[in-house]
C-alpha cells in the first residue's frame, strides 16, 4: 500500500521548489505545468519536469505531473514529453467524459492517469469516468468546481459536500484513490485542520496541498490514530485466536465485531505501516 495522505502541488517552473520537495514529508509530489505556470514559462516548466522525473531523488514519494489540457497545444507537447520521461502518473485537468482519459492514454503511452474532477460535467459523468481502465485516482478540483457552480463554499464547504461525497463513492466503486481538493489557507490553522479532518471523515485517502506548511495537518488527518491502530490490532488478534476459527462474528472488548471489521482493521494496520 502506498499512502496518499499529502499530495503537494509545485510549479514545475520553480527549480528550487522541486529540489526542496525531495526532502519534504509529503507522500506525493505533483509537478504542475498548468495553473501554477505562466504562459510564457510553459516550455521551461515542461523541460524542468522532465529533468526532475528522469533525475529522481524523490525517495518513496510518488512523482506525478499535471499537464495542460489536451485541447491546447501545450497539453499535446506535455503529453509527448512525459510519454518518454515516464513519471509515476499524469494528472489530467478538465476531465469531463471518459473519452478525455482514453485520448490521453493514447498520447501518454498508457501511463497511469489521475483525473481532476473540477467541472459540473465531470461530476455528472463520474460513474463512467471512474470505470475507465487505467485510471488510478480521482482528484477533487474544489476551486474550479466552486467557480463553475457559482457557489460559496465557506469554511464548512457545505455546498460542495454532495459532490465531494460523489467523488469518493465513484472511487470506491472502482478501486481508485480519491484525493480531496486544496485549501487556500497557507498555514496550519484551525480552519485547515478542520478541512483535513472533514476530508478524512468523507472517506478521501488524502488531500492535495499548495504549500509545505499544510503537509503536517494532512499527514495527521489521513493516517490512523494510535487508538485506531490499537483497536485494529485487537480485532486482528481476536480473529486469529483458535476459538474464533470459522466464526463470522466475535466479541472484542465488549462489542460485537464481524469479518468486515477484520478487513477494515487489516487495512488500518497496512496504512499505518506504509505511513510510517
Give a three-class secondary structure readout of 209-227: ECCHHHHHHHHHHCCCCHH
Q: Which residue has the cell 499535446?
A: 76
Which residue ranges are tagged as binding site?
66, 118, 144
| Res. 276 pLDDT band, cuts 50 70 90 | confident
| Average confidence (pLDDT) over 74-95 | 95
Which amino acids are annotated as binding site for substrate, given as ranges? 66, 118
Q: Over the stretch 7-26, which tens digit does the pLDDT of each residue have?
A: 999 999 999 999 999 999 99
pLDDT in tens, 198-253: 999 999 999 999 999 999 999 999 999 999 999 999 999 999 999 999 999 999 99
Q: By three-state DSSP, how is residue 38 classified?
A: coil
Q: What are phi and psi of 254, to 5 degrees?
A: 80, 10
- Do 155 and 180 meet the contact criterion of CB atoms below 8 Å apart? no
Among 103, 69, 104, 77, smallest CA distance to 89 is for 104
Q: Which domains does the chain show, CATH number per domain?
A: 6-221 (3.20.20.60), 226-275 (no CATH)
Which spans in the chain are helix H? Answer: 15-21, 42-55, 73-85, 98-107, 120-124, 126-130, 142-149, 161-173, 190-202, 215-221, 226-240, 259-275
Q: What percent of the chain has pLDDT over 90?
A: 96
Three-state secondary structure call for residue 56: coil
* Helix, strand, or coil (residue 7): strand
Q: What is the tens place of the pLDDT at every residue in 125-147?
A: 999 999 999 999 999 999 999 99
In angstroms, rounded to a whole number, what is the distance separating the alpha carbons of residues 21 and 63? 10
- Binding residues for Mg(2+) are 118, 144
R_g of the chain computed on alpha carbons: 20
Place of cell 470505470: 131
Residue 257 pLDDT exceeds 90: yes
pLDDT at 110: 85
Q: Cα 165 from chain centroid?
A: 14
pLDDT tier at 157 (50, 70, 90 boundaries)?
A: very high
Report the candidate in 38, 35, 28, 11 with the shortest Cα–Cα distance to residue 64. 28
Amino acid at each position: 500500500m502506498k499512502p496518499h495522505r499529502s499530495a503537494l502541488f509545485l510549479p514545475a517552473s520553480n527549480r528550487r521548489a522541486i529540489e526542496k520537495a525531495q526532502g519534504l514529508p509529503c507522500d506525493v509530489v505533483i509537478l504542475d505545468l498548468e495553473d501554477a505556470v505562466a504562459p510564457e514559462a510553459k516550455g521551461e516548466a515542461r523541460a524542468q519536469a522532465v529533468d526532475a522525473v528522469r533525475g529522481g531523488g524523490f525517495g518513496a514519494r510518488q512523482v506525478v505531473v499535471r499537464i495542460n489540457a489536451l485541447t491546447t497545444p501545450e497539453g499535446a507537447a506535455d503529453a509527448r514529453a512525459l510519454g518518454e520521461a515516464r513519471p509515476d502518473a499524469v494528472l489530467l485537468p478538465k476531465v469531463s467524459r471518459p473519452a478525455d482519459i482514453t485520448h490521453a492514454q493514447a498520447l501518454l503511452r498508457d501511463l497511469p492517469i489521475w483525473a481532476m474532477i473540477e467541472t459540473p460535467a465531470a461530476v455528472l459523468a463520474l460513474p463512467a469516468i471512474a470505470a475507465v481502465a487505467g485510471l488510478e485516482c480521482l482528484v477533487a478540483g474544489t476551486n474550479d468546481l466552486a467557480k463553475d457552480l457559482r457557489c460559496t463554499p465557506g469554511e464548512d464547504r457545505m455546498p460542495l459536500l454532495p459532490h465531494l461525497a460523489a467523488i469518493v463513492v465513484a472511487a470506491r466503486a472502482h478501486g481508485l484513490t480519491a484525493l480531496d481538493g486544496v485549501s487556500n489557507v497557507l498555514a496550519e490553522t484551525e480552519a485547515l485542520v478542520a478541512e483535513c479532518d472533514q476530508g478524512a471523515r468523507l472517506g478521501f485517502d488524502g488531500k492535495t496541498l499548495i504549500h509545505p506548511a499544510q503537509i503536517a495537518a494532512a499527514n495527521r488527518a489521513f493516517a490512523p490514530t494510535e487508538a485506531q491502530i490499537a483497536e485494529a490490532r485487537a480485532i486482528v488478534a481476536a480473529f486469529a485466536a483458535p476459538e474464533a476459527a470459522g466464526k463470522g462474528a466475535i466479541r472484542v472488548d465488549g462489542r460485537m465485531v464481524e469479518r468486515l471489521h477484520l478487513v477494515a482493521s487489516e487495512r488500518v494496520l497496512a496504512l499505518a505501516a506504509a505511513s510510517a
